[in-house]
Amino acid sequence: MTDPYRSTADPLGTWHRLADDLVLLDGFHALKHAVRFHARVPVAVTTDRRAALALADELAPDVREVLEALLTEVPEERYRALVPRPHPTAVAALAERPSREDQLEALRRMPRTAPVIVLDNPRNLGNAGAVIRLAAGFGATGVVTTGTLDPWHPTVVRGGAGLHFATAVERLSVAELPPGPMFALDPEGDDIRALKLPDDAVLAFGSERTGLSADLRARADHLVSLPMRPQVSSYNLATSVAMTLYHWSATGGAPA
Ligand SMILES: C[S@@+](CC[C@H](N)C(=O)[O-])C[C@H]1O[C@@H](n2cnc3c(N)ncnc32)[C@H](O)[C@@H]1O
């Protein structure tokens, strides 16, 4: 079989030609997950190929062959010039972003076998990355953000450990959100423990600063709360998504 992932003779030239249009994969884990979930990765560099392949032997034998064909060693100063913040694994790569059309189709397809997560105007890039990682782990259909944060920002991709390629990630307006019964998480809602969340649910979470927007509340079918002791105002956004997805899985939802 022809390997579609080939090292190029001029990886840095390829990098500079493609960098503006592709997604930065920062670190070994992001590259490993992207390859594992079938991202197209035209170029990958490291300052220490032997160390990167040792990591592959240890952590990713399933994609080791692809990484071996892909990774090119470059001098440290050249690597540092390519990334905003050097990663401890000294690996970086560029990947093609999945087509928006395909992602929207996946998000809107019904019947749905796992929920869509909506982050309503999230502000923190690290939170968004952590939520995408959770969605990938629980096999959620996807993560949709509203507002100005770019869910494919390099810091989000780094926080998500490259797991954007294991779920569908897009930014939409509230009016464009995927179909399905919407359960919006809010400390004033009904206790989640009394509910079974359906597989076709849209699970919506508010902004770190201001909670759920008026538009989102108007679209919601149910307001749902996570158990929390009085005097505590709220949980962290990503933590709230984790508890909600866990509740969905513990009451019958995937994963196996
Ligand atoms: C950090 S909180 C937002 C706090 C914000 N200051 C507010 O006024 O709501 C981010 C989001 O996490 C979810 N969340 C946090 N704690 C929750 C709880 N106890 N029950 C339900 N949802 C919660 C909600 O969706 C909330 O909008």
- Nearest CA, atom 18, ligand 1: 187
**What is the residue whose two structure tokens read 């953000």?**
145
Task: Tell me the one-letter amino acid at 66.
Answer: V
Same-domain status, 221 and 165: yes
| Ligand 1 pocket check for 237: Cβ under 6 Å | yes
Q: Is residue 155 a contact partner of residue 26, using CB atoms and an 8 Å limit?
A: no
Percent of the chain with pLDDT over 70: 96
Average pLDDT of the residues of the chain:
94
How far apart (Å, rounded) are the C-alpha atoms in residues 136 and 55? 22
Average pLDDT over residues 133-156: 97
**Residue 2: pLDDT band with limits 50, 70, 90:** very low
Same-domain status, 146 and 56: no
Same-domain status, 89 and 126: no
**Listed residues 43, 60, 95: the one ending a domain:** 95
| Ligand 1 pocket check for 81: Cβ under 6 Å | no
| Ligand 1 pocket check for 186: Cβ under 6 Å | yes
Same-domain status, 41 and 129: no
Q: Is the peptide bond before 198 cis (omega within 30 degrees of 0)?
A: no
Average pLDDT over residues 116-133: 98
Is 5 inside any structural domain?
Answer: no
How far apart (Å, rounded) are the C-alpha atoms in residues 231 and 105? 42
- Site to probe by mutation for ligand 1, drawn from 134, 208, 235 as the one with most ligand atoms within 8 Å of Cβ, is 235
Is 59 inside any structural domain?
Answer: yes
| Ligand 1 pocket check for 239: Cβ under 6 Å | no
Please check the confidence at residue 232 and state whether its pLDDT lies above 70.
Answer: yes
DSSP 194: G
E strands, 31-158, are 43-46, 71-73, 91-95, 116-119, 142-145
| Ligand 1 pocket check for 187: Cβ under 6 Å | yes
DSSP 131: H
Q: How far is the CA of 240 from the centre of ligand 1 (A)?
A: 7
> With 0-12 CB in 10 A as exposed, 13-18 as middle and 19+ as buried, what is 53?
middle
Is 1 inside any structural domain?
Answer: no
Average pLDDT over residues 174-199: 97
Residue 41: predicted pLDDT = 96
CATH of the domain at 164: 3.40.1280.10
- Nearest CA, atom 9, ligand 1: 211
**Listed residues 95, 129, 158: the one ending a domain:** 95
Query: pLDDT tens across 13-67, in order?
Result: 889 898 889 999 999 999 999 999 999 999 999 999 999 999 999 999 999 999 9
Residue 253: predicted pLDDT = 74
Domain span holding position 182: 100-250
Please check the confidence at residue 140 and state whether its pLDDT lies above 90.
Answer: yes
Is 236 inside any structural domain?
Answer: yes
Please check the confidence at residue 5 and state whether its pLDDT lies above 50.
Answer: no
**Listed residues 78, 95, 112: the one ending a domain:** 95
Query: pLDDT tens across 205-221, in order?
Result: 999 999 999 999 999 99
| Ligand 1 pocket check for 137: Cβ under 6 Å | no
The set of residues, in sequence order, having a beta carbon less than 8 Å from that of 109 and lying 6+ positions away, is: 141
User: For ligand 1, what atom is nearest to the CA of residue 236?
Assistant: 1
Same-domain status, 86 and 203: no
How far apart (Å, rounded) are the C-alpha atoms in residues 85 and 72? 19
The residue among 118 and 20 whose pLDDT is bigger is 118
Q: Is residue 138 a contact partner of residue 131, using CB atoms and an 8 Å limit?
A: no
Same-domain status, 104 and 151: yes
Same-domain status, 115 and 201: yes
The pTM for the full model equals 0.93
Residue 8: predicted pLDDT = 57
Same-domain status, 42 and 162: no
- Site to probe by mutation for ligand 1, drawn from 212, 240, 244, 245 as the one with most ligand atoms within 8 Å of Cβ, is 240
Residue 252: predicted pLDDT = 83
